[in-house]
Amino acid sequence: MSEKTMPLNGIRVIDFTQVMLGPCATQTLGDLGADVIKVERPGAGDLSRGFYGKHTEEAMNNAVFASLNRNKRSVEIDTKSAEGRQQVLDLVKTADVVVDNFRAGVMDRLGFGYAALSKLNPRIICASGTGFGSSGPYAHKGGQDVLAQAMTGVMEKTQDPSIPKSIYPTTLCDYSAGMHLVQGILAALLMRDKTGHGQKVEVSLYDSMIAMQMQEAAQWSKHREVLNWAAMPLTGVFDTADGAIVIVGAFKANPLQDICTALEIEDLSPEYPTLDVQRQHKPFLQQRFRDAIAENTSAYWLERLEEQDLLCAPVRSLGEALADPQTKINGMLHEVQHPVLGDITLTGSPVHLSDAPVLIRHLPPRLGEHTEEVLQELAVLLAQEAAE
């Protein structure tokens, strides 16, 4: 497949993002064929380059940074200098999208907000990912995944009231907001084809987490009832003789009866026939399951549960998941040779287009690796524009 046939070929993105929310969005745009130019601070770059707190070449191209920044070109620009500011403005003249994930108002203070940039380029799309939105009582707060979990009700819910509230260990909010940012950018590009002009796109960690709880929010608003899928009475994680499995006791006419059959215990469904009754006696039911499941291996119970067409799975480590043949079959691993890191495996895209598979056109860039290249291209483009 040629780069020219990729969905976003010809779209230029000026990328001011760092850490997670923004970089996962711009990496997705790069995977779809956009020319993503990552603007980085001289000598330091994206905050993720300092993950280990060192400034060695290897540390600044660490695996965390690499995981979020393929298919981008890096330029070092001092946006506080007159020359650097002009370089950014010249890039914007040739661009389609500008993306940032600073605190609300930062791009305006830098002189790179939508109001200013749209005068230079009426077709420009300015996309911002913030913590809590561009206005309101929390607009000034720094956005961070854990804070969004805490402030939107995500962290408050646990599988069992006796379990302490804790931080979800994967960057759920950042990734969700990043993908919402991609949606907004793609929609704005489509709309520009109709109207001829760009617009401002905004997402926030806060909004993404509220939106993710659409079912829970509707249930609370209508009935003042907490909907907690992890706390359902026939659902849980259970230790086996050699590991752990998860069972989801739902979407069946009589899931309790089927679970009892699979676990080779007496049928408890006549005594606990309804969901409400099962909720009231959840500790007893879960303990009954726990006692039975501890007596045999994960493989044994998964086979028994699947015979009853129950939803079940082994609880695995990330390493085990990455080694699973399904992961490779799904194209979720890209093994690349990086000039600094050597062999490194990057995750693939979860979106599979039959006519546009993800190509790694640019390895995760070294800081400023493409500064000269991009500025030379810019000079040519501006000269052509002046000649016309």
Return the structure tokens found at 376. Answer: 């030379």
Give residues with Cβ within 8 angstroms of 185, minimum separation 6.
25, 29, 97, 99, 125, 127, 201
Q: How many CB atoms lie within 10 A of CB 385?
A: 10
Please identify which residue in the block is written with the tokens 């130019």.
37
Q: 177 vs 45, 77, 307, CA distance in Å?
A: 22, 27, 39
340, with CB counted inside 10 A (0-12, 13-18, 19+), is middle
Q: Of residues 174, 193, 309, 343, which has the active-site annotation?
A: 174
Other CB atoms within a 10 A radius of the CB of residue 101 amount to 30
Geometric angle at alpha carbon 349, from 247 and 6, rounded to 5°: 150
User: Locate tokens 């069992």: which residue?
Assistant: 160
Amino acid at 3: E
Residue 174 appears among annotated catalytic residues: yes
Task: Indicate which residues carry an active-site annotation.
Answer: 174
